[in-house]
Chains A and B, each alone.
Chain A
């Protein structure tokens, strides 16, 4: 031990009193305060006037500078941190989307207690991890600041106590007086809510539940009632079907259970080394639907001919089966019917025939066809039927009559908006005025709620408890993912309150599950465990009930006669749903309004679709360019007229028919949706069956002088003979799996000769193929199977939700400034090709002009396109400030902070996937969408920067997910497992068309997919080495493509 002492000064060494005293002072010397603080008079101080002014100036500047802080944004931290929440880590909850129109099992991603993203629940055998755009967008509807914030009485805010006392009195009075109490609702699949309504009915015996769906499938149910004695919609299994024939049913987009069907369809279209079979799909329809666009054979027919077509098909099958034929009129497409019949007959028990008509006469014949084809219990299951689409049009009509007669004391409306969705002819609005007490449970003050005396807003589904059963053997739970944002109350709680004074709906659901679902299983002996498991999984499925062989004793003669009575007209209209807006219940959602329609690529609008040929004949504008306005007409259907409805050219639309989308023309939905387009529901009428008809023959149009701007995200319709989308036919594919995927060759100079070499071998730089170039580690890559992609647009909204993509509004879309990071290019085939032009001795200019025009009934291809993450990225070399760079994992990064916005990268991108922030799209009154209000901003993903004005952005391949996955793997000390995380577009793709993974791992799905003969890179000849590859589309048709 060293005893040496060190000291800093003599004072410290001596350690005398003065030193100790001094050391306690903050400053060792006296501060010269006196120098500038005046003693007697200002003149005597050592601080003259000048110094004083200096000090004054300094102090004022310092004080004012300190005041110029950037504004403080207050956030409220967790006072007591909830156990399950870790800031920065997402929590996932299983739940269910069931709005009476779409059904989907989902997972909800929450961050710091806010739901921010919907994903598909892969545990579900019903929807199997897929979603659609509306399900994806529903999370934004939660944060709609135009939702109702509390109960209303006579349009004025009130409290629940008042509501309860008023309504208990009204209900008792109505019950006592024998006046009807009616609950009008869209399809309720919830076992608990159904049980609760039954209890409610027991308490108030005059109660009756009337189910009414804006989109009715009553015809199918009625037909099944007639033919099999069960008023149900059967379960379909498209994955087992080799031949699918659809008469106007858009089963991939909007028919009954499209997410489920799309997944099955995707399976039936998937081709690989091990599976060399695919379904053949015939579609007979009027409007070009999503299903029609994907069909192998699409036949454009008038909607009034659908019935005749079905009967003709029946006869063709019956002839083969040796059964009696029915009387049927001739149809112009009988050759296609015969072909379909041949294909169906060859695939008995492995085919499906469906029809979109709401006429039970037609649907019974469809049942007859399926019966003759032995499809029941194989591809169609009546026993384990769907619980969706239970709307009963006849009961709805009866209800309106009752209302008009003043027989309804209390009308409670749940999850429906009949003032908006019921046809004008039914006069629902007038009838509603005659109801004693009207109650709406709707979550916003929509057209119906506006007319109701009481509005008792339900929770948004992400805030509430609930359950559902889309199919007899499939159950699902809905659980809250956020505390209710507003003073709303679940419908279950409202009903309980009115029955018993109070009650907890969550407990009620639990008791229902304990009584019924718990008893259906025997793996979990304790209910709490069973409940926990179901809540965790979000679903509970039982094995399907065994079916007894179906017997057929129904005589179709009368139905066929009714079908034959169907008269067409010169001009017929079809009412359809769009992929974004659907039945219109989420119309106030800007993501859905801005989502391009998969077929027409229009956004923000509603219009009449018409054959371009017919438009030309009528003298309407068929050129759709950015600055061109479309012609409008005054449209009269079933005696209802709307002025100035724009007309949009739609190839594939047969002449003499027009289409009009439902879900538009809202007046009380909110500022996003109000007054966009016309309300097509109001035109609707009833068919011969007394059910709602989704087409009409009493149509007339009159020219109007007005012009109207329609905006689309794609103004050019054909591929111009470019080989960006490669396709082949199934027979060619069977002969050679590489068919249609010829290697792209480049010519190189070899002395005086040209030498053709594969494009991928030509490179300026060292690559994987050349020695001295090693790329260790991860290489992110994406494969897109064009044969499976149905172009539904789910990925567009999923990406928007995940990556905080801004909504820019109609006018900016018109300017080609939409911000979507992923787009789906849709091309129509053209009857002109370069080869044909040469044969016909046409000049190249004329040939090109004709190549721009789509065919009358075109073949359609969809190509999802996002940043290709080129490994020799042209954008990277041209950026002057190194704002876009390459990662060693094969990703093209965008550093927003560094971007100055020269836009050179976007110009030099051959795929045109870069998106520029032309304005500040958040907190900007000009863009009054969700990013302009505090509530709407809650949907933003905190892991993704909101881009500022003046910077470029583009697909990042969900880098935040990659990073999170890498960190998780690192923490657990393991390698990344294939498929443990996916990009937002890949995750919820209903058909699994998108595969994402590490291509450096030869066992990964994406690496194996790349090895397939159908794989190719888009624009490979440019040598940019994209990370995204495509697979050739295969059409199941006989004739060759060229």
Chain B
């Protein structure tokens, strides 16, 4: 496989196939270090807070939140959309980049997919807890039932949501798992304890590593990539329709589907950055997740961030251009009203700050990237908050204008959902191979430092070898 010599290597440190296996299996086989335990304790404490907050919510009623008869959705749906958005990067990286044969995805796709799964789980918890009677969410599914011939309302975007999110979750899970099989087999084969052998053997589905295995693996990956690619677009399109199909000024906008998808990718990549910058440090994977990877992802953040920025400005333009009183007031109020600070945060974090990535030194600066990735996700959280709350709090009838403030329970559920997310992710780093090592090994011969060096020293040899 020829690769232009000017392309920078994707694997640093002259890693051999065996070294790769060693590096990536080390966290599974060895003991967790201090950093991991500290991260885990914090995340788990937050998870306990989540359990308590959810218990209070389910026990007392969603009245323990700050939402009210004017602003019926608050942090709950903000968080839902935020998490679903974060969940976008995984599929994009593994499916779309696979179809486009982007090799740099190989170091990051596993964790990105794991992040997707956990983010969608977090999102789903908000769907379940935000409803008034949280013991009845299955009524949103078109199940056969004995309530007469009672069906779901296929006109309702919330039903579309149910389908979109559950489909996305299922496909992502299958995709992720398929990729994991060869790596589980590696862990199984290296296992020294009976328990590990048993469990990883079970997880590896009897992978033998034969050519037939690999051929089928490739085929399935390709098919799943094909199935997943439309989902990258569909999920957030449908989530955006929760708002776009309503008639509330600030929600009712045809621009929402592309704008939401771009925003989702934007926030998803930012979250991948946040996670991987920590992971590479904690698990010493600097040779696999390199500045190049971070640079690549920052470019995507820059592009999607710009799309989002244009969408924001377009919304304002249309609000003015339409001449609709309610629409124009909504946007003026959004920028200058009670929640102006949320709007200002959103604009700063999402539109202005990613533009700094035009500067290469910043784009390749790991600390800066880490900070900015958090800034971006803060901004994206505010975006959803602005759309939901600032539109609802001053809609059509001025007598029903009012404000919304979250309660401690709502804050607890949000922080707790981060706890849930990080707990899952930290467990993932301990028990699952965080990098798709089997696949990564396919580029050792083309994109590792030693391959690059060989190519440089003897450019023709490589070509002849081909």
Residues of the B chain whose Cβ atoms lie less than 8 Å from the Cβ of A197: none
Within 8 A of A (CB), among B271-318: none
Within 8 A of A (CB), among B147-204: 147, 150-153, 155-159, 162
B325 adjacent to A722 (CB under 8 Å) = yes
A823 adjacent to B399 (CB under 8 Å) = yes
Residues of the B chain whose Cβ atoms lie less than 8 Å from the Cβ of A818: 69
Query: Of A6-14, A318-326, A505-513, A900-908, which stretch is located at the interface?
Result: A900-908
- Say whether, besides A823-B399, A918-B61, A882 and B69 are in contact (CB < 8 Å): no
CB distance from A959 to the nearest CB of B (A): 19
B399 adjacent to A826 (CB under 8 Å) = yes
Contact flags B235-268 to A (C-beta < 8 A → 1, else 0) = 0000000100111100000000000000000000
Q: Which 10 A-B pairs have CB atoms at the shortest separation, nearest pair first?
A: A901-B132, A950-B132, A918-B63, A825-B399, A912-B400, A880-B158, A950-B133, A903-B72, A816-B68, A716-B401
A906 to B403, CA, bound (A): 16
Which residue of the partner chain, among B69, B248, B325, B400, contacts A908 with CB atoms under 8 Å? B248
Query: Of B110-118, B135-143, B457-465, which stretch is located at the interface?
Result: B135-143
A904 adjacent to B397 (CB under 8 Å) = no
A900 adjacent to B132 (CB under 8 Å) = yes
A919 adjacent to B61 (CB under 8 Å) = yes
B402 adjacent to A816 (CB under 8 Å) = yes
- Say whether, besides A720-B398, A825-B399, A950-B62, A880 and B332 are in contact (CB < 8 Å): no
CB distance from B128 to the nearest CB of A (A): 10
Residues of the B chain whose Cβ atoms lie less than 8 Å from the Cβ of A901: 62, 131-133
Residues of the B chain whose Cβ atoms lie less than 8 Å from the Cβ of A880: 139-140, 152-153, 156, 158-159, 162
Residues of the B chain whose Cβ atoms lie less than 8 Å from the Cβ of A912: 69-70, 395-397, 400
Residues of the B chain whose Cβ atoms lie less than 8 Å from the Cβ of A903: 67, 72-73, 130, 132
CB distance from A973 to the nearest CB of B (A): 30
B73 adjacent to A877 (CB under 8 Å) = no
Which residue of the partner chain, among B150, B245, B396, contacts A1019 with CB atoms under 8 Å? B396
- Say whether, besides A874-B246, A882-B152, A918-B62, A906 and B132 are in contact (CB < 8 Å): no
A506 to B157, CA, bound (A): 65
Residues of the B chain whose Cβ atoms lie less than 8 Å from the Cβ of A916: 69, 72, 132
Residues of the A chain whose Cβ atoms lie less than 8 Å from the Cβ of B70: 816, 912
Residues of the B chain whose Cβ atoms lie less than 8 Å from the Cβ of A675: none
Residues of the B chain whose Cβ atoms lie less than 8 Å from the Cβ of A827: 398-399
At the interface, yes or no: A898 with Cβ under 8 Å from chain B? Answer: yes
CB distance from B322 to the nearest CB of A (A): 10
Residues of the B chain whose Cβ atoms lie less than 8 Å from the Cβ of A826: 399
Contact flags B20-43 to A (C-beta < 8 A → 1, else 0) = 000000000000000000000000
B395 adjacent to A817 (CB under 8 Å) = no
- In the assembled complex, 9 residue pairs joining A and B whose CB atoms fall closer than 8 Å, in A order, are A716-B398, A722-B325, A823-B399, A877-B153, A878-B157, A901-B132, A904-B242, A907-B392, A1024-B247
Interface size for B (C-beta < 8 A) is 56
Closest to B73 in A: A907
At the interface, yes or no: A949 with Cβ under 8 Å from chain B? Answer: yes
A948 to B133, CA, bound (A): 10
Contact flags A747-768 to B (C-beta < 8 A → 1, else 0) = 0000000000000000000000
State which size class the interface on A falls in.
35 or more
CB distance from A838 to the nearest CB of B (A): 14
Closest to A897 in B: B147
At the interface, yes or no: A844 with Cβ under 8 Å from chain B? Answer: yes
A715 adjacent to B132 (CB under 8 Å) = no
At the interface, yes or no: B102 with Cβ under 8 Å from chain A? Answer: no
Which residue of the partner chain, among B140, B242, B399, contacts A716 with CB atoms under 8 Å? B399
CB distance from B4 to the nearest CB of A (A): 52
- Say whether, besides A720-B329, A900-B132, A950-B61, A1022 and B247 are in contact (CB < 8 Å): yes
Besides A911-B397, A912-B400, 8 other A-B contacts (C-beta < 8 A):
A714-B399, A722-B398, A865-B397, A898-B139, A899-B133, A907-B72, A918-B68, A950-B131
B136 adjacent to A900 (CB under 8 Å) = yes
A920 to B63, CA, bound (A): 9
CB distance from B132 to the nearest CB of A (A): 2
Contact flags A794-833 to B (C-beta < 8 A → 1, else 0) = 0000000000000000001001111000010111000000
Closest to B60 in A: A919
A882 to B142, CA, bound (A): 12
Residues of the A chain whose Cβ atoms lie less than 8 Å from the Cβ of B397: 724, 825, 865, 910-912
Which residue of the partner chain, among A848, A881, A951, contacts B139 with CB atoms under 8 Å? A881
At the interface, yes or no: A43 with Cβ under 8 Å from chain B? Answer: no
At the interface, yes or no: A721 with Cβ under 8 Å from chain B? Answer: yes
At the interface, yes or no: B456 with Cβ under 8 Å from chain A? Answer: no
Closest to B405 in A: A627
A625 adjacent to B162 (CB under 8 Å) = no
CB distance from A1026 to the nearest CB of B (A): 13
B401 adjacent to A715 (CB under 8 Å) = yes
At the interface, yes or no: B336 with Cβ under 8 Å from chain A? Answer: yes
Residues of the A chain whose Cβ atoms lie less than 8 Å from the Cβ of B329: 720, 848
- Say whether, besides A815-B68, A900-B140, A950-B61, A718 and B132 are in contact (CB < 8 Å): no
Residues of the B chain whose Cβ atoms lie less than 8 Å from the Cβ of A722: 325-326, 396, 398
Chain A residues engaging chain B, CB cutoff 8 angstroms: 625-627, 714-716, 718-722, 724, 812, 815-818, 823, 825-827, 844-845, 848, 863, 865, 874, 877-882, 898-904, 906-908, 910-912, 914-920, 948-952, 1019, 1022, 1024
A714 to B399, CA, bound (A): 6
At the interface, yes or no: B66 with Cβ under 8 Å from chain A? Answer: yes
Chain A CB within 10 Å — which of B63, B157, B333, B402 has the most?
B63
A951 to B397, CA, bound (A): 23
B132 adjacent to A949 (CB under 8 Å) = yes
Chain A CB within 10 Å — which of B131, B147, B333 has the most?
B131
Chain A CB within 10 Å — which of B69, B248, B329 has the most?
B69
A181 to B255, CA, bound (A): 83
B73 adjacent to A881 (CB under 8 Å) = no
Residues of the A chain whose Cβ atoms lie less than 8 Å from the Cβ of B248: 907-908, 910
A126 to B329, CA, bound (A): 48
A817 adjacent to B63 (CB under 8 Å) = yes
A949 adjacent to B155 (CB under 8 Å) = no
Closest to B72 in A: A903
A911 to B247, CA, bound (A): 11
Closest to A1021 in B: B324
A915 to B68, CA, bound (A): 9
Contact flags B389-417 to A (C-beta < 8 A → 1, else 0) = 00010111111111101000000000000
CB distance from B67 to the nearest CB of A (A): 8
Within 8 A of A (CB), among B88-141: 130-134, 136-137, 139-140
Residues of the B chain whose Cβ atoms lie less than 8 Å from the Cβ of A817: 63, 68-69
Closest to B325 in A: A722
Contact flags B363-392 to A (C-beta < 8 A → 1, else 0) = 000000000000000000000000000001
A906 adjacent to B158 (CB under 8 Å) = no
Within 8 A of A (CB), among B39-94: 60-63, 66-73
A911 to B329, CA, bound (A): 17
A879 adjacent to B63 (CB under 8 Å) = no
Chain B CB within 10 Å — which of A816, A818, A863, A920 has the most?
A816
Residues of the B chain whose Cβ atoms lie less than 8 Å from the Cβ of A816: 68-71, 402
Residues of the B chain whose Cβ atoms lie less than 8 Å from the Cβ of A900: 131-133, 136-137, 139-140
Closest to A844 in B: B332
Which residue of the partner chain, among A627, A823, A845, A918, contacts B403 with CB atoms under 8 Å? A627
Closest to B66 in A: A815
Residues of the B chain whose Cβ atoms lie less than 8 Å from the Cβ of A878: 155-158, 245-246
Residues of the A chain whose Cβ atoms lie less than 8 Å from the Cβ of B394: 716
Residues of the B chain whose Cβ atoms lie less than 8 Å from the Cβ of A1019: 396
Closest to B155 in A: A877
CB distance from B99 to the nearest CB of A (A): 33
Residues of the B chain whose Cβ atoms lie less than 8 Å from the Cβ of A899: 132-133
A925 to B333, CA, bound (A): 40
A197 to B134, CA, bound (A): 63
Chain B CB within 10 Å — which of A715, A865, A948 has the most?
A715
Residues of the B chain whose Cβ atoms lie less than 8 Å from the Cβ of A907: 72-73, 246, 248, 392
